[in-house]
Copies of this chain bind each other. A is one copy, B any other.
Amino acid sequence: MPKFMDIHHDMQGLTADQLNAAHQADLAIQSEEGVTFEHAWADTESGDVFCLSDAPSAGAVQRIHERAGHRADEIHPLTLSV
């Protein structure tokens, strides 16, 4: 299964509770698109949030994020991994 790194910008000041709630909202529906979100990390000063997933396509990642209420600004297929 391909891996993806997606990025959400402009999330300055995000709290731990907000990140957890957003991640849980993804987890609750991810299986409907065959996506597995592995981790989410936030730089709360720059406002960048990074999500690592296994997914069949970038579109599948975006559909889950959109339905959970937080569309990604970038979705990168991770063609190499080490």
Interface of A toward B, CB cutoff 8 Å? 3, 5, 14-16, 19-20, 23, 39-46, 48, 50, 52, 76-82
Contact = CB atoms under 8 A, between A and B. Distances in A.
A16 to B, nearest CB: 5
A63 to B, nearest CB: 20
A41 to B, nearest CB: 4
A82 B50 contact: no
A56 B79 CA distance: 29
A77 B42 CA distance: 8
Nearest to A24: B82
Contacts of A46: 76
A51 to B, nearest CB: 10
